[in-house]
Amino acid sequence: MAEYRKGSHTIYNIEYHVVLVTKYRYQVLRGEVALRTRELIRQSCLSRGITIVRGSVSKDHVHLLLSCPPSLAPAKIIQYLKGRSSRLLQQEFEHLRKKYWGQHLWARGYFCATVGTITEEMVKEYVENQQTDGPEEAFKVED
């Protein structure tokens, strides 16, 4: 059963699988840098009401399974996570400032996919069965 979260006027279960990759795939997420990356991402998520369901920091990328409130768009979440972590990591680790002199620790793109506990077919069946008679349309109006 899905674990639903609650807001002031919402009940939701929105999860994203996110992958952030270092620029040029440089393997800089090691040792203290990896630990600090994890801590910065945890802080950023906590401050925005995002729950890290699972996470992993590899040498050149980070995998996250995030549970997010509906008020946050995936692009904004990733923009915030990448921007803050890049800025603070480069402030704290001089070797990163030298390696990434252009100020960008993360690659320009990212991977993001939604994760759900029910399939698209289950949702279609539920919606279809809301009305038992009438034309077979993709978007029905009940009488």
Structural domain boundaries in the chain: 5-116
CATH superfamily, domain 5-116, is: Transposase IS200-like (3.30.70.1290)
Position 119 scores a pLDDT of 77
Out of 4-13, 42-51, 58-67, pick the least confident: 4-13
Question: How far apart are the C-alpha atoms of 27 and 21, rounded to whole Å?
Answer: 10
* Predicted TM-score of the model (pTM): 0.82
| pLDDT of 127 over the 80 cut | no
**In the chain, % of residues over pLDDT 90:** 71
Task: Say whether 126 is catalytic.
Answer: yes
The active-site residue out of 4, 80, 100, 126 is 126
For the chain, the first-to-last Cα distance in angstroms comes to 33
